[in-house]
Amino acid sequence: MGTSQLTIAEALRLGNEFHRARQFEDAERVYRAILAAQPHHPEANHDLGVLAVQAGKAALGLPFLKTALEARPGTGAYWLDFLEALLAAGQCDAARSVLDQGRRQGLAGPPVDDVAARLETALDRQCRLRALEDLFQAGSYAAMEDQAKRFLERFPESGKGWHLLGLSLVARGDGAAALEPLLRAVATLPNDVDLWDHLGSAYLHQGQPERAAHAFRRALALRPDYPSAHNNLGNALRELGQPQEAMASYRQALRCQPNHAMAHTNLGIMLQSQGQVQAALECHARALALAPANVEAHVNSANALKELGRIEAAVAAYGRALALDPDRLEARTNLLLLEAFSNRLTPQAFLAEARGLDRVLTGQANREGGIASLPRRARQGRRLRVGYVSGDLCGKHPVPFFLGPLLAAHDRRRVEVFLYPTQRARDDTTERLQRLGDHWSPLVGLTDRQAAERVRADGIDVLVDLSGHTRYNRLGIFARRAAPVQAHYLGYCATTGLSAMDYWIGDSVLFPEEEIPPYSEAPWRLPRPYLCYDGREDLPGPAWTPRDNGEIWFGSFNHLSKIQNATVDLWSRILSALPEGKLLLKSGQLDHAANRERMLAAFEGRGISRDRLVLMGQTANWQAHMAAYDLIDVALDPVDAVSGVTTTCDALWMGVPVVTMAGDRLATRMAASLISGLGHGDWVAATPQAYAGLAVALARDVAGRTRLRPRQRERMRASPLTDARDLARSLEDAYEAMVLL
């Protein structure tokens, strides 16, 4: 293109033709070519600025419109278009200044008056928006929500207003209600990067990671170097079960912003899930170096320390999290879970700690309007409505393993079963359990208040907790008295501490009659063992034979968190008394070198050479795991912490005798209940000395064990341990009695 005036004029006419035909890219190309030749050309600057406003990019058009106006200050249309662009860009203060300047230079007329009126409205809107932002920054979310709704009655087209209303609802924990205003906001402001990020976070909190990932990717399409969206996309991918992709997102966030504390600690979470616990701990340390007050990083660090067996350090890390935020439920419940698996606290001291959680949950409920009383519902011949709440209705968790037979055996003439899953994950186990219930009602994405209202609406008579303080628990629902009768059952080994939890279901071994219950719940003793084992008949029978070399192999397949100092002391004493003895430990945690070294060093420090321990990690499948029981002669249950449940049942099913010790806490008596239910109370010791004596005696009785092992599975089939129908009748009787009390 030439630079003569005629050529410029022809080019401008061509650009205007493209512009009128809405061929914006062609028009922009022509206007920019003119400005390359004449940077201050009034018409080209003006028309390019107007084009930017029409494309929804008013802020980009302002410099061109300003240049045009400076070149021709006497052109009224230039003043008006500049003012319109300033309004569209939200620069109301600048627009007022430009309007005043124009009026001093004679700008007047109805179009000017119209702009002035709209400017006053915009200034009022902007002032109100700033007030809403101030309330948000101050944490006054309830007041902000109220004012935002009034603001939107006057300015329903305000994308920013809908955005702020959504943020206030998210901050108050009502992610479900936040979605509608955020969606209205993004429809108005489709190029707002932060808005897409916030919408994704709301979806994620509602248990919709697919939609969350889509929103985060929309944000990244607008700004590829946006660290928050990369970090949040990692969170969505983590929920979708894509660990490698999640870690890639966290690492991309750190490339964009190396000091992003949350990306460091989130990467640590994923590394721990992949077995890289030490590397995870280092990530959390980097996060805390950047943000010492980051509560989540303290909690994540504590979780990693616990996995590494560094109990005291983990307790201290949870303590730091709670010092920063005493109401942080994850820190409080994880600490209680750790204490439940240790012998650090007396039962009375543990109850006192658990009541602290009750105070937090009750306080939250009271701030939401209090806890309404809920009278027992009249039966009038109808079935009893029983609800089971669990975060573990999937995967290989023990709860589905023990819950499945019960659900299948429930008498549907007596009970109507409602299942309330509290985590999003689904698999074949989930599908199987869903078919075994009458109603399936996920609580993912609901606040505790909303979930409690749903349970109330279902008319539940007895609501049963199957999580305790474990991950995905929803004790806040129980704290809000969602059902007239509430009970704790499977899935946890300690008191919940909740004043609203009426009963803890067990048996006479778990709850000895002479015990003064150190629980918030009233013990409910079933007239039989408290659970039922679903022995898999597709497994081959026991193939154990005595070793030709005379070695005796003891074994434990328990989680390493259960194998604490008292257990190592006692097992070392047994090995010392039986020189031909070896100890097989099997746990997925032993796939990690640090855990193997910790176990070997613990026994070596008590005089047991390393060659007397055999360490096994995770096996390829369930069949291989169960076949490993054929390697051991006598199973040893951990003492003074948490006894084995699934591992005890598995060992018994494979014919292995199990030695246990009933301690002073319910957590130490679970294996005793199961073993007694099989009719082998003689394998239950009352003291460490008796435990050691039993283990050595069983080890030396090769002939007795040779007779026992092929027969034990049949004995188990005939025992209450595998009688799901009997368990179901006992629980149904219990539920009916509870609602009458």
Strands (E), 455-541: 462-465, 485-488, 503-507, 522-526
113 within some domain: no
Give the chain's mean pLDDT: 91
- Identify which of 611, 600, 674 has the alpha carbon closest to the alpha carbon of residue 637: 674
Q: Please compute the mean of the pLDDT values over residues 287-311 and round it to a whole number.
A: 94
Quick one: pLDDT at residue 4?
A: 46
How long, in residues, is the chain? 741
Final residue belonging to a domain, choices 329, 344, 359: 344
DSSP per residue, 181-231: HHHHHHHH-TT-HHHHHHHHHHHHHTT-HHHHHHHHHHHHHH-TT-HHHHH
Indicate if the pLDDT at residue 120 is higher than 60: yes
Q: Please compute the mean of the pLDDT values over residues 687-706 and round it to a whole number.
A: 97
Measure the CA–CA gap between 710 and 186, rounded to whole angstroms.
67
Final residue belonging to a domain, choices 315, 344, 373: 344
475 within some domain: yes
Query: Which run of H or E residues covers position 99?
Result: helix 92-104
Quick one: pLDDT at residue 124?
A: 62
**Domain count within the chain:** 4
DSSP per residue, 285-298: HHHHHH-TT-HHHH
Measure the CA–CA gap between 210 and 705, rounded to whole angstroms.
54
Q: Which of 148-162, 241-255, 598-612, 722-736 has the lowest mean pLDDT?
A: 148-162
Supply 736's token pair. Answer: 């009916």
Indicate if 262 and 198 belong to the same structural domain. Answer: yes
- pLDDT band with cut points at 50, 70 and 90 for residue 63: very high
Indicate if 315 and 413 belong to the same structural domain. Answer: no
Quick one: pLDDT at residue 308?
A: 84
Q: Which of 78-92, 319-333, 461-475, 722-736 has the lowest mean pLDDT?
A: 78-92
Contacts of residue 262, Cβ cutoff 8 Å, sequence gap at least 6: 231, 287, 294, 296, 297
- Looking up residue 57, the CATH number of its domain turns out to be 1.25.40.10
* Helices and strands in the chain, H and E counts: 32, 13
Indicate if 162 and 279 belong to the same structural domain. Answer: yes
Indicate if the pLDDT at residue 723 is higher than 90: yes
Measure the CA–CA gap between 572 and 563, rounded to whole angstroms.
12
Quick one: pLDDT at residue 1?
A: 44
Quick one: pLDDT at residue 2?
A: 43
Residue type, 63: P
Indicate if the pLDDT at residue 116 is higher than 90: no
123 within some domain: no
Quick one: pLDDT at residue 488?
A: 98
Quick one: pLDDT at residue 157?
A: 86
Indicate if 467 and 560 belong to the same structural domain. Answer: no
Which comes out higher in pLDDT, residue 238 or 81?
Answer: 238
Supply 39's token pair. Answer: 């940077």
Q: Which domain holds residue 94?
A: 5-107
Which comes out higher in pLDDT, residue 349 or 81?
Answer: 349
Measure the CA–CA gap between 448 and 451, rounded to whole angstroms.
5
Q: What is the 3-state composition of the chain as percent helix, strand, coil, each rounded to the nearest 5?
A: 60, 10, 30
Q: Measured between alpha carbons, how far is residue 324 from residues 80, 266, 320, 353, 686 in Å?
A: 54, 19, 6, 17, 42
Supply 575's token pair. Answer: 């090995």
Supply 538's token pair. Answer: 């597709």
Dihedrals phi, psi of 149, to nearest 5 degrees? -65, -40
> Do 296 and 611 contact (CB within 8 A), yes or no?
no
Query: Which run of H or E residues covers position 384?
Result: strand 384-390
Indicate if 382 and 457 belong to the same structural domain. Answer: yes
Contacts of residue 202, Cβ cutoff 8 Å, sequence gap at least 6: 166, 170, 175, 178, 179, 182
Indicate if the pLDDT at residue 493 is higher than 90: yes
The answer to pTM > 0.85 is no
- Looking up residue 740, the CATH number of its domain turns out to be 3.40.50.11380
Q: Environment class of residue 381 by beta-carbon count within 10 Å: exposed (0-12), middle (13-18) or buried (19+)?
A: exposed
Q: How far is CA 588 from the centre of its chain?
A: 22
- Identify which of 608, 243, 204, 667 has the alpha carbon closest to the alpha carbon of residue 445: 204
140 within some domain: no
Indicate if 478 and 496 belong to the same structural domain. Answer: yes
Indicate if 384 and 479 belong to the same structural domain. Answer: yes
Indicate if 428 and 510 belong to the same structural domain. Answer: yes
Find residue 635's DSSP bridge partners: 555, 658
Indicate if 569 and 606 belong to the same structural domain. Answer: yes
Question: In this structure, how many other beta carbons lie within 10 angstroms of the beta carbon of residue 618?
Answer: 14
429 within some domain: yes
Indicate if 495 and 631 belong to the same structural domain. Answer: no
540 within some domain: no
> Tell me, what DSSP letter sits at residue 726?
H
Tens of pLDDT, residue by residue over 654-666, are 999 999 999 988 9
Tens of pLDDT, residue by residue over 324-354, are 999 999 999 999 999 998 888 889 999 999 9
126 within some domain: no
Final residue belonging to a domain, choices 296, 316, 344: 344
- pLDDT band with cut points at 50, 70 and 90 for residue 98: confident
- pLDDT band with cut points at 50, 70 and 90 for residue 127: low
- pLDDT band with cut points at 50, 70 and 90 for residue 3: very low
- Looking up residue 698, the CATH number of its domain turns out to be 3.40.50.2000
Which comes out higher in pLDDT, residue 478 or 665?
Answer: 478
> Do 657 and 497 contact (CB within 8 A), yes or no?
no
Tens of pLDDT, residue by residue over 374-395, are 877 777 789 999 999 999 999 8
Residue type, 410: H
Q: Measured between alpha carbons, how far is residue 319 from residues 308, 311, 347, 694 in Å?
A: 18, 12, 20, 40
Q: Looking only at Cα atoms, what is the longest distance across the chain?
A: 114
Tens of pLDDT, residue by residue over 507-533, are 999 999 988 889 999 999 999 999 999
Measure the CA–CA gap between 430 and 435, rounded to whole angstroms.
9
Indicate if 313 and 448 belong to the same structural domain. Answer: no
As a whole-number percent, the residues of the chain with pLDDT over 90 amount to 67
Measure the CA–CA gap between 698 and 708, rounded to whole angstroms.
11
Contacts of residue 577, Cβ cutoff 8 Å, sequence gap at least 6: 692, 696
Q: Which of 99-113, 310-324, 423-437 has the lowest mean pLDDT?
A: 99-113
Measure the CA–CA gap between 268 and 290, rounded to whole angstroms.
14
Tens of pLDDT, residue by residue over 543-573, are 999 999 999 999 999 999 899 899 999 999 9
Question: Sheet of 503-507: strands edge to edge?
Answer: 439-440, 415-421, 384-390, 462-465, 485-488, 503-507, 522-526
> Do 557 and 651 contact (CB within 8 A), yes or no?
yes
13 within some domain: yes
> Do 559 and 641 contact (CB within 8 A), yes or no?
no
Indicate if 316 and 447 belong to the same structural domain. Answer: no
Quick one: pLDDT at residue 123?
A: 63
Tens of pLDDT, residue by residue over 163-183, are 988 888 888 878 888 999 999
Quick one: pLDDT at residue 100?
A: 80
As a whole-number percent, the residues of the chain with pLDDT over 70 amount to 98
